[in-house]
Amino acid sequence: MTDLIQSLVDGVALGSLYALAALGIGLVFGVMRLINFAYGEVITAAAYTLLLTKDLNVGLRILLAVAVAVALSLVMEFVFRPLRVATPATMLITTFAVSFLLQNVAVLWFGTQGESIGFLSDLNRAFEIGGIRIRWITLVSILVGGAFLAAIAYLLDRTDIGLQMRAAASDFTTARLLGVRATRVIIFAFILSGVLAAVVAMMLAVQRPLATPTFGFFVVIPALVGVVVGGLDRLLSATIGGFVIGFATVMLSDLLPSQSRVFLNSVLFGLVIVVLLVKPNGLFLRGAATAERL
Amino acid sequence: MIRRFRFLALFAALALIAAACGGDDSSDTTAAPSATTTTAAPATTTTAGGSTDTTAAPTDTTPIIIGAAVDLSQNMAPFNTPANRAAEIMVERINDAGGVLGGRPLELRTLDATVEPDVVKATAIDLIDQGAEILMVTCDFDFAFPAIQEAIQANILTVAPCIGTDAMGPNNLGEEGRIAFSFGDQAQDEGAVLAEFARDQGWETAVVVKNNLLIYFQDVVDAFAVRFEEAGGTVVATEEFTGFDGTIGSVVTAVANEEKDVIAISSGFDDLPAFVFGLRALGDDTPIVCSWACDGTFWYQEGEPLNEFYYNTKVSLFGDDPNQDVQDFLAELTARGGPPATAAWLGGAQAVQAIAEAIEATGGTDAAAMAAYLEGFDNKSLIMGEVTLNADNHTVFGRPHRIMQVTDSMPAFLELRTATSPADIR
């Protein structure tokens, strides 16, 4: 029983991390229909910022990591702007290209070996309740993830910019005709996703402290899968999808016999295929794709 | 149109930034890509002692080209860059001493093969076309394979400085693979030496942590488990994961929950510090033994003193290696391009040394003859110690490993240890 609860705790920890990444991806998809494969490189940029500022105090490091992630997000928005009227396939391939370009820039600048980030490592310690070890970073991930989701939900429901984002997400052309400043809305979505990328980088840096050119890449892949599994058309469903992928990864890892864990990804993605065959619009969406995507 | 121009301009700018900022030649981790470098002494007529004799009869001073199709810019660059630098130094030393075959200099001609299969293959072909008579390849069998294939087809000796699996040679490549060798330490030997060390510490029970990302990682811990139990210990649990699959956190908690005397792991990249420091963060101070994969301190977490951590390696990088020749070589290597991050470099020096001896012994670069000579290495004394190869084992075994002990995040040489034999895991 203790082992099962421990697995649940570990699953929640990974799920929270993927959920945050899924939230950042879902925000941009909502307003622009763009699946940003290069989101992982925004996370990587924030991680390298934490690495390069390791001599500064924590507060300043956090601020700089957020600033760099937001700046890179804005550069991406600038690059992707001409693609707003392009086909989804064109947009996706472009984000692939940007992703690989930025990864190679990181290889040239920093090499492939990696370097320890050294960021809030105390949060990786655990406290124990009834034989269950809970890392502080798990709690922080849940709290931060929940807080961001709540704040973004409030922003979308109760603020002018949120209303405009929803309008742009619903029908970009009509929203523009009605006076919504679409570019401003999209820029705002990219800024928010940049902030989230920095948060993901910080959570990850505590648990996996080596900055490498693929630091964010291996988080974004499962998060992207989670977004699709959960349902691309709603931010909440996409976020929950991200959580589910992380949670399922850990649970499957524990359920599989040790010698079969090499097949973990095969089993996981097999399940993903089954889910998408049964619920092609996503696990947490009802019926056909909805018009409103936020 | 303006938008399109802006888009293209930004991409061009990013590409230029990447090109402008890359290629710090002095670093082991960021070598200049796709550059051809050549290291050879001037082709003069020299005596065996190295002094120039202008009155001697003319001899063949044509350089013997050793092609190096190795990754200097991607995943394997941290290993291959210092190995190649060490190979260059060894080529210079041999040439300074008169070259081979009575005065022929060696020439190391290097091309960055990256790890992209098409580039690896094209680079190997290019070097062979340029006259390479021996081919050195990247330190990972899968990445090196396209180059190995080309060398085999061209019937030239192919040597890896530090592939750690037993994939080189006829057991894996068939009879044609008899001309393929690696001067890395065999994983079965590393696992065996760690297990024998662990048992000698009196550790009775072990948890084995297996990263399925690389065959090398798998083979080391499989060898540890086999030899640990052969030596009377008990493996109480095996925890498996595949690098980057995101489950390292749950592996850490599973290992922490086991009763054990020692933990054996062979891993790298992001998951290594996540495991080691994650385990310590949970208050688990059980001794950890690791293979050469754990060499170097670049992955240590600042502010988190690492203790009770042991690993085997080729040589100590920390000024306390028991072999003075190694220390001198390391000093020269460091003076030329900064300190290497791991001991991978030694394989490059050792490979060139072995190649030169094989050329001398066989009177040329005939691949089959050189292979037969190398298969006869039985405790052959090279710069890193005694090396053994044979018809079944084309990757080095039986070498004295340096056991390193990490105290307060500072590795120090603890002892020299040779495995009684490689563990049988096949």
Find out whether A10 and A207 touch, Cβ atoms under 8 Å.
no
CB contact under 8 A, B270 and A3: no
Q: Is B277 on the interface with A (CB under 8 A)?
A: yes
B183 — phi, psi (to 5°)? -100, 20
Q: Which of B14, B278, B302 sits opposite A116 (nearest CB)?
A: B302
* Residue numbers of B between 308 and 327 with CB closer than 8 Å to A: none
Q: Is A3 on the interface with B (CB under 8 A)?
A: yes
Tokens of B296: 């170097």
Residue A154: inside a domain: yes
Residue A158: inside a domain: yes
Q: Kindly indicate the confidence band of residue A178, based on its pLDDT and cuts at 50, 70 and 90.
A: confident
CB contact under 8 A, A262 and B242: yes
Domain extent for B226: 188-315+402-417
Q: Provide, as residue numbers in chain B, all residues whose Cβ is less than 8 Å from the Cβ of A54.
A: 302
> How many domains does chain B divide into?
2
User: Which of A6, A12, A16, A208 to mutate: most B Cβ within 10 Å?
Assistant: A208
Residue B180's pLDDT is 97
* Minimal C-alpha gap between A30 and chain B (Å): 23
* Residue numbers of B between 30 and 49 with CB closer than 8 Å to A: 30, 33
Domain check: are B290 and B411 in the same one? yes
Distance (Å, whole) CA A128 – CA A110: 38
Residue B66: inside a domain: yes
* Minimal C-alpha gap between A23 and chain B (Å): 18
> How many domains does chain A divide into?
1
Q: Is B15 on the interface with A (CB under 8 A)?
A: yes
Residue A58: inside a domain: yes
Contacts of A117 (CB under 8 A, 6+ apart): A47, A50, A51, A54, A205, A209, A210, A211
User: How open is the CA angle A83-A87-A88, to the nearest 5 degrees?
Assistant: 95
| Cα torsion A230, A232, A233, A234: sign | positive
Residue B49's pLDDT is 34
Q: Is A110 on the interface with B (CB under 8 A)?
A: yes
Residue B38's pLDDT is 62
Domain check: are B166 and B210 in the same one? no
Distance (Å, whole) CA B378 – CA B390: 8
Residue A211: inside a domain: yes
Domain check: are B243 and B336 in the same one? no
CA A128 from chain center: how many Å?
29
Domain extent for A137: 2-278
Find out whether B308 and B287 touch, Cβ atoms under 8 Å.
yes
Give the model confidence (pLDDT) of B167-196 as tens digits: 999 989 999 999 999 999 999 999 999 999
Residue A5's pLDDT is 86
Q: Which of B74, B249, B302 sits opposite A13 (nearest CB)?
A: B249
CATH code (residue B337): 3.40.50.2300
Q: Which of B11, B241, B278 sits opposite A261 (nearest CB)?
A: B241
Domain check: are B151 and B193 in the same one? no
- Rg of chain B in Å (alpha carbons): 22
Cβ atoms within 10 Å, residue B12: 10
CB contact under 8 A, A114 and B23: no
Chain B residue closest in CA terms to A51:
B302
Residue A294's pLDDT is 57
Domain check: are B327 and B182 in the same one? yes
Find out whether A152 and A27 touch, Cβ atoms under 8 Å.
yes
Q: Is B149 on the interface with A (CB under 8 A)?
A: no
Distance (Å, whole) CA A25 – CA A192: 10
DSSP letter string, A193-245: HHHHHHHHHHHHHHHS-EE-TTTTHHHHHHHHHHHHHH-TT-HHHHHHHHHHH
CB contact under 8 A, B3 and A82: yes
CB contact under 8 A, A218 and B17: no
Distance (Å, whole) CA A239 – CA A138: 17
Distance (Å, whole) CA B406 – CA B424: 29
Q: Is A218 on the interface with B (CB under 8 A)?
A: yes
Q: Which residues of chain B have pLDDT under 70?
A: 1-58
Burial class (CB in 10 A: 0-12, 13-18, 19+), A131: exposed
Residue B30's pLDDT is 34
Domain check: are B207 and B135 in the same one? no
Give the model confidence (pLDDT) of A94-125 as tens digits: 999 999 999 999 998 998 888 999 899 889 88
Q: Is the pLDDT of residue A3 over 90?
A: no
Residue A132's pLDDT is 84
Q: Provide, as residue numbers in chain B, all residues whose Cβ is less than 8 Å from the Cβ of A207.
A: 249, 274, 278
Domain check: are B72 and B170 in the same one? yes
* Minimal C-alpha gap between A193 and chain B (Å): 21
Tokens of A115: 């370097």
User: Which of B28, B294, B301, B317 to mutate: most A Cβ within 10 Å?
Assistant: B301
Q: Looking at the predicted complex, does its ipTM rise above 0.85?
A: no
Tokens of A130: 């009834």
- Rg of chain A in Å (alpha carbons): 19
Domain check: are B382 and B409 in the same one? no
In our burial notation (b when 16+ CB lie closer than 10 A, e otherwise), range B326-344 reads beebbeebeeebeebbbbb
Residue B424: inside a domain: no
CA A212 from chain center: how many Å?
18
| Residues making up chain A, counted from first to last | 294
Q: How far is CA A42 from CA A47, A219, B177, B179, in A?
A: 9, 11, 44, 46
In three state form, how does the secondary structure of A64-107 look?
HHHHHHHHHHHHHHHHHHHHCCCCHHHHHHHHHHHHHHHHHHHH
Domain check: are B89 and B176 in the same one? yes
Q: Kindly indicate the confidence band of residue A157, based on its pLDDT and cuts at 50, 70 and 90.
A: confident
Cβ atoms within 10 Å, residue B352: 31
Domain check: are B82 and B192 in the same one? no
Domain check: are B197 and B248 in the same one? yes
Of A246, A242, A223, the C-alpha closest to A283 is A242
Distance (Å, whole) CA A244 – CA A14: 9
Q: Which of A104, A125, A258 sits opposite B240 (nearest CB)?
A: A258
Q: Provide, as residue numbers in chain B, all residues whose Cβ is less than 8 Å from the Cβ of A79.
A: 7, 10-11
CATH code (residue A144): 1.10.3470
Burial class (CB in 10 A: 0-12, 13-18, 19+), A147: exposed
Cβ atoms within 10 Å, residue B319: 10
The overall average pLDDT reported for chain A is 87
Distance (Å, whole) CA A283 – CA A230: 5
Report the SS3 class of residue A112. coil
Distance (Å, whole) CA B245 – CA A218: 8
Residue B311: inside a domain: yes
Q: Is B348 on the interface with A (CB under 8 A)?
A: no
Q: Which residue has the tokens 């798998």?
A: B218
Looking only at Cα atoms, what is the longest distance across chain A?
60
Least confident segment among A217-221, A264-268, B47-51, B127-131: B47-51
Residue B14: inside a domain: no
Domain check: are B283 and B243 in the same one? yes
